[in-house]
Amino acid sequence: MDYPGKPAWRQVVDTLASAFLLALLIRWLFLQAFFIPSGSMEDTLLKDDRILVSKVQYYFREPMRSEIIVFWFEEDKKHFIKRVIGAPGDRIEMVRKKLYVNNVPQVEAYAVHKDPQYEPSRDDMRPLIVPRDRFFVMGDNRDFSKDSRFWGFVKKKDVVGVAFFIYWPFTRLGAIK
């Protein structure tokens, strides 16, 4: 496209600057890419997967149970990814690796237990109620995930968005279930 009165180099600079600003705006408001650094979400997400996270949904509603969210973990000063197990007001309990939400045993097709050993500190949890503006999260790889069982609730203000798409590696390309 030719702009009268502007040199070609200036047109290129203007186009690149506009594209850069648009990309920043999209990342800031709508969409962000993340890297999966550990196996805590196996078998749903694998170590080294690259995913896209939508920031848009949570402008209009709260995270819901079973959604996979990315959030800022202040203690480690980095982003974490886990599955929402409990929303505000939910009663969460774990007995011998079996999860109960509001006194109902959960059928969790995504949850895996790769360690046959029973460890009370990991596999049992006294009942607790999720406070207002907080979420209880767990990794799908329950025996090898540090999550709300160990460090408590995620604050609503720390939630970045919902993970929805794996874009790398190409062999795993597709929607996150």
The tens digit of pLDDT for each residue in 82-101 reads 999 999 999 999 999 999 99
**pTM score, whole prediction:** 0.86
The reply to whether 19 falls in a domain is no
5 inside domain: no
Q: Which of 38, 47, 66, 82 is catalytic?
A: 82
Specify if 10 maps to a domain: no
Side chain identity at 101, as an amino acid letter?
Answer: V
* 17 inside domain: no
User: Does residue 1 lie within any of the structural domains?
Assistant: no
Q: How many domains does the chain have?
A: 1
> Residue 79 domain-assigned?
yes
Cα distances (angstroms) measured from residue 81 to each of 18, 37, 58, 147: 32, 10, 16, 10
**What is the domain-level CATH number for residue 100?**
2.10.109.10
- 40 labelled catalytic: yes
Q: Cα angle at 46 between 40 and 52, to 5 degrees?
A: 100
The catalytically annotated residue of 40, 55, 145, 148 is: 40
> What pLDDT digit, counting tens, does each position of 156-177 carry?
999 999 999 999 999 999 999 8
- Domain of residue 45: give its range: 32-175
